[in-house]
Structure 1
Amino acid sequence: MSRFASDLKDVIEDQLERNLSPRKLRRFLEMVGPFLLIVTYAEDALRVVTRWDEQMMYMKMQMKWGRVLSALILAASCLAQAAGSTGVILRRQMRPACYTLLVFTVVQPIVYGQLGDADFVFRSLTQLGGLLLLLRHEDSLGRGTRRQSADLAFAGLGADAAAGGRGVASGARLQLIGRVLLMGIFFLQGGRHLFSRGFALLPALGFCALLSLSALVVIGFKARWSALILATSLGLSNLWMYPFWMVSGRARDFTKYYFFNTLSLMGGLLLLVSYGPGGLSMDHGSKKGI
């Protein structure tokens, strides 16, 4: 029996080594990360088309924009999100696509009157962080050397070192800003619940862990592992908190928005796992991968 267990262990380890190699894992993250990042934009663009009358009513009644201006704003919103999402998914004109989504994300809380909603604003900041990481990756390398350098970065050498030091200072700053913004919603939720009036030990410990992982990402220490843990936690909580397929009525639309938005937050975290924290981090120069 022990011989069988030993042989089975060797087979499992061999299969894991073959199928979960750093290169394969990095390619998987490079495919899934951008897709999840833009899924909320694609869903929102589809929502504008399929629920046009409801969107128009909100813009006219709540925002007082007027019929013509409301229609122009909604059309521009749909076009920007659809074009940006398509560019990222097809990996065509990535820089214009990222800039389009960046501008939309900044303008959206203003146009839709959500500046007073802290949760909405901080979720937007987190999306901005993911887009900046994606933009930094696209700007850092030429198309011909991107795959080789990405392999080196995932192995732990960092994107700046892998790129041969080109644009190290500006690129490292962009990655720093990206990962700080990426933690926005976690700092908000962790701080809000930790310092709320009600106190319970287990939730408090959970939010302390959340804040600790977020701080590790910001300073760039064990950033990949911290981001991976946060992404996994988000995925599990998303299924529990926002199961829109089980909700009916007006609450379905609300739940559906937050479900897809949370997927986008996960996408930004997976981009951090794939590309690394950059030069301005404690992990920079480490030869250990994830």
Structure 2
Amino acid sequence: METTLIRNYKKWSPIIARTFLVATFIEDSFRLILQYDQQRRYMVNVRAYNSFITFLFLWFNIIGQLGGSILAILKKWTPYTVLCLSLTTISQTIAYGLVTDKLTIFRGLSVTGGLLLLLSDYFVKEKTLFAGLPEIDEDNKSNYFRLAGRLLLVFLFITQFFSSLNWGIAKIILVLVTGVGCILIIIGFKAKETALFISLFLILFDLCINHWWTYRLPKRDFVKYDFFQILSISGGFLLLANMGAGSFSMDEKKKSL
């Protein structure tokens, strides 16, 4: 029998998951607004972009990330929202010269996995076809995007593996927990429970390790970046916990036995 707490959790957890998922985009859009002159000088003087290109780049990322995040939380225009947020990630990776940075690439793939889960949730409820995609029913589209989202989310494990060469106790615990959990999510075994556990574990880990509000500049910005990146990835896992692994999983195969 459902308690009031469980009913409230089911009601609010999808909204919380989507908010966490886009947290890194919201934080970055405010960072660009507050540091606009500094970012503009960096792009012009260091990256050697002209003023017009810099203007377009900065405002595309400010408007795209903030507007896309709000639409994602509200579940409005989901396909275009996911495309917009993905393009901001790609544009920043290229513009800041981070194409060869493993940590940036892996974290970006993890967040992209969460965005694909948003698409999966959209196809469950909407009857929309995109040009260029195979004309398959909406349930199958949802499952394909959910599978891709699951696989990309596990890049979190690779992210943590490459993020530091300083292997302390906290680092070892994080890698072990996320490693085992990601294997279970890849094969789709106890996916909801595993995703919920990893999400809660990451949030707790994030609060304990990446407490950026206690640091001074410039270190604060680096720790703050890590905090919101991991918060977004935890939102992706929480979204997966709400949705389940889909048809391409051991959980679904067990139901058919």
- Flag whether TM exceeds 0.5 (same fold): yes
Mark the structure with the bigger radius of gyration: 1
CA distance in 2, matches of 1:131, 1:95: 10
2:3 paired residue number: 18
CA distance in 2, matches of 1:75, 1:199: 39
Amino acid in structure 2 at the alignment position of 1:19: T
Whether the 8 Å CA contact 2:25–2:69 is kept in 1: the answer is: yes
State the partner residue of 2:153. Answer: 182
CA distance in 2, matches of 1:203, 1:37: 23
Alignment partner, residue 144 of structure 2: 173
Counterpart position of 1:6: none
Question: C-alpha deviations, 1:31-66, integer Å up to 9, x for none?
Answer: 100011111111111111111011112212332212
The residue type paired with residue 127 of structure 1 is V
Aligned partner of 1:100 in structure 2 is: 84
Is the 1:168–1:279 Cα contact (8 Å) retained in structure 2? no
Q: Structure 2 CA distance, aligned partners of 1:266 and 1:69?
A: 34
Is there any run of 5+ residues in structure 2 with no aligned partner, and where?
A: 128-135
Distance of aligned partners of 1:237 and 1:61 in 2 relative to their CA distance in 1, 3 Å threshold? farther
After superposition, the C-alpha distances for 1:93-119 in whole angstroms (9 at most, x for unaligned) are 233212211222233211221122211
Residues 220 and 281, structure 1, Cα contact 8 Å, conserved in 2? yes
Show the counterpart of 1:242: 210
Match of 1:39 among 1, 11, 23: 23
Aligned to 1:137: 121
SS in 1 for 2:251: coil
Q: 2:66: which partner in 1?
A: 82
Aligned equivalent of 1:28: 12
Q: Match for residue 110 of structure 2?
A: 126
- Measured on the aligned residues, the alpha-carbon RMSD in Å equals 2.5
Q: 1:252 — aligned with what?
A: 220
SS at match of 1:101: helix
Amino acid at match of 2:30: L
TM-score (norm 1): 0.77
Higher alpha-carbon deviation: 181-190 or 47-56: 181-190
Say if 1:46 and 1:78, in contact at 8 Å, map to a contact too: yes
* Cα drift, residue 177 of structure 1: 0.7
> Structure 1 residues 176, 87: closer, same or farther in 2, change over 3 A?
same
Amino acid at match of 1:226: T
Say whether the 8 Å CA contact 1:228–1:269 is kept in structure 2: yes
Secondary structure of 1:284 counterpart: helix
**TM superposition shift of 1:285:** 5.5
- The verdict on how the C-alpha distance between 1:201 and 1:104 changes in structure 2, with shifts beyond 3 A counting, is closer
Letter in 2 for 1:256: K
> How many percent identity over aligned positions?
30
Aligned AA for 1:224?
A: K
Aligned pairs (5 A) from 1:62-77:
62-77=46-61
Structure 1 spans left out of the alignment, 5+ residues: 1-13, 144-164
Query: What is the Cα deviation at residue 191 of structure 1?
Result: 7.2
1:265 aligns with 2:233: yes
The equivalent residue for 1:226 is 194
2: CA distance, partners of 1:49 / 1:188: 28
The residue that corresponds to 1:59 in the other structure is 43
Aligned residue for 1:283, secondary structure, equals helix
43-52 or 88-97: bigger deviation: 88-97
Structure 1 residues 127 and 203, CA, compared in 2 at 3 Å: closer, same or farther?
closer
Are residues 191 and 41 of structure 1, via their aligned partners in 2, closer, same or farther at CA, if it must alter by over 3 Å?
Answer: closer
Please state whether the residue corresponding to 2:86 is helix, strand or coil.
helix
Name whichever of 261-270 and 102-111 sits farther off: 102-111
How many pairs are equivalent? 247
